[in-house]
Amino acid sequence: MATQFHYEISMQAGKVKFKNVSWAIASFSMKPSKASVEKSELVTNVTPVTIDSNHFHGTLRRAKSEDETNSWSAPGGENFMIRGKTYLTDYTKVVGGDPLLKLIAVDWFKADERFDSVALHPKSLVQSEAAKKIPFMLVINLQVPAKPNYNLVMYYAAERPVNKGSLLDRFINGSDAFRDARFKLIPSIVEGYWMVKRAVGTKACLLGKAVACNYLRQDNFLEIDVDIGSSTVARSIIGLVLGYVTSIVVDLAILIEAKEETELPEYILGTVRLNRANPDTAVPI
């Protein structure tokens, strides 16, 4: 009897495992391809601009190896689950594909007061001659409340112009209300203490609804200033994260939330991985 019972449990476990593997394969097969996303969001019948990363230097260094501390890198979308093609009918999510935009630099600033409109600063890389040749740039300025305040600024670039009427175009040139309803971030603590993982979670957050966001649209860029201190809940979570930030690895994905069938499946605008960032190395603005 004991042997038979063990056999049946093993077979059940085998079925469950097979089911999970099948689900994972299906999820990967349904993830949006970068080529299809580019075709819908960017003008693909023009020669792409060559973006030389050596022309863009942020104050936080780019990682040269996976274990390099106090650095950044640009992971793929495999750590993130996003809305699939049939999400509106069955709530199915799929593994995220490669980001549409290229992360070219990250700044790690500190200031006595909240600092908006980083892209307009005369020494900002957005004002460089190399940046002005890029068809479109998205600047995400995460304003971290502390003493001093910190600014984590990510610069994402498109190698081609944005398609008129696309979801990205409507987000770039739309109203602040539209942006607030669509601007989404997904966090993922890759390495860190369980209490930090639990506090941060992996649930997508509409930042425009959770905290105050200011939008600056000029020339070839859109800057989004995210005031994390405007929410008591967000402030408490970021306070916990800062306490352990030198020992955690965190991935972030930026998206425009898809709300209509024609906008599905979702795609990831950009990602960033922060590897054990050190607040002491933040550069004064």
Enter the tokens of residue 52. 């030389």
Q: What confidence category does residue 30 fall into, taking pLDDT thresholds of 50, 70 and 90?
A: low
pLDDT above 50 for 17: no
**pLDDT for the residue numbered 32:** 74
pTM: 0.88
Q: What is the pLDDT of residue 5?
A: 36
Q: Above 60 in pLDDT, residue 2? A: no
The amino acid at 60: L
Q: What residues have CB less than 8 Å from 110, skipping those under 6 apart?
A: 148, 149, 150, 151, 279, 282, 283, 284, 285
Residue 236 has pLDDT above 70, yes or no: yes
Q: Who contacts 68 (Cβ-Cβ below 8 Å, separation ≥6)?
A: 61, 275
SS3 173: helix
Tokens of 257: 């939330």
Q: How far apart are CA 178 and CA 25, in angstroms?
A: 35
Strand order in 212-218's β-sheet?
212-218, 221-227, 136-144, 149-158, 102-111, 283-284
CA distances from 216 to 97, 120, 276 (A): 28, 9, 30
Q: Please, which pLDDT band fits residue 25 given cuts at 50, 70 and 90?
A: very low
Quickly count: other Cβ atoms within 10 Å of residue 116's Cβ. Answer: 15
Average pLDDT of the segment spanning 173-193: 95
Q: What is the mean pLDDT of the chain?
A: 89
Percent over 90 (pLDDT), the chain: 75
Helices of type H across the chain: 2-30, 34-41, 87-90, 129-132, 167-173, 176-182, 194-200, 207-210, 232-244
Q: Concatenate the DSSP letters of all residues of 8-42 into one string.
A: HHHHHHHHHHHHHHHHHHHHHHHSPPHHHHHHHHB
Mean pLDDT of 269-280: 96
- pLDDT tens digit string along 71-87? 999 999 998 999 999 99
Q: Which of 279, 196, 185 is nearest to 241 (CA)?
A: 196
Q: What is the pLDDT of residues 113-154, one digit of tens each?
A: 889 999 999 999 999 999 999 999 999 999 999 989 999 999
What integer is the mean pLDDT of 253-275?
96
Most confident among 10-14, 166-170, 236-240, 281-285 (mean pLDDT): 166-170
For residue 12, pLDDT over 60 is answered with no
Over residues 202-231, the mean pLDDT reads 95
